[in-house]
Amino acid sequence: MKPEIEKTDEIERRTHTVEMRVKDSTVGNKTPTMEGYAANFNSLSEDLGGFREVLANGCFAEALKTSDCRALFNHNADKILGRNTAGTLRLFEDEHGLKFEIDPDMEISYVKDLSRSMSRGDVTNCSFGFSVAEGGDVWRKEPDGTWLRTIVKVERLFDVSPVTYPAYVSTSCAVRSMLQKQNELETSKDEETYHFETHRRRLELELML
């Protein structure tokens, strides 16, 4: 029997070393643009605590239509850089991954500091916060015994964030999902064993008669 899967709004986060840059505008006095990739498709992650992960092409498509997403520095809500509903953050998918463009307010001191740090190469990591749709991930056990999670549908995109340190990875939702999948497989094996043993005992009884 398939176990019930608890729905949760808990945010998962992933961090990548990606290409980010501050692009100077060539149009009048328009401010520079911060741009880069928050996530890469078909790139195998590091070990996330018992499993590795891949983002499938197009997994953000539905979330981009409905999410009210912010661009933050270090996931700090007090240091907002842009917002898609305000038109100061633009998000779209291409063949490489999830790309972002931010129109920063260079009059804000922390924005100016971040822009300088990005230009110098001091800040080179980007993170994104998301939740996976129900049924939006596929688990597969690899020949070496490790688990591979492929995310095919993101339900909501909360934020994209240039970050100072790449170490912050929140995977508790994914670990629960992995354990549920393992439980499903074990339950399936137990049922197969039960049916085999029942059939074997029936044959033995028939032979005795």
Average pLDDT of 83-106?
Answer: 95
Please, are residues 177 and 140 in contact by the beta-carbon 8 Å criterion? no
| Residue 195 Ramachandran class (φ > 0 left, ψ -120 to 50 alpha, else beta) | alpha
Report how far apart, in Å, the C-alpha atoms of 115 and of each of 40, 103, 164 are: 22, 11, 13
Q: Specify the pLDDT at position 172.
A: 47
Put simply, whether the predicted model's pTM sits higher than 0.85 gets the answer no
Mean of pLDDT values over 129-147: 91
Least reliable range by pLDDT among 14-18, 41-45, 127-131, 188-192: 188-192
3-state secondary structure of 170: strand
According to the model, what pLDDT value does residue 41 have? 93
CA gyration radius, the chain: 23
Contact present, 105 and 142 (Cβ < 8 Å): no
What's the pLDDT score for residue 137? Answer: 93
Region of poorest pLDDT, from 17-26, 80-89, 169-178:
169-178
Out of 81-85, 116-120, 124-128, the most confident range is 81-85
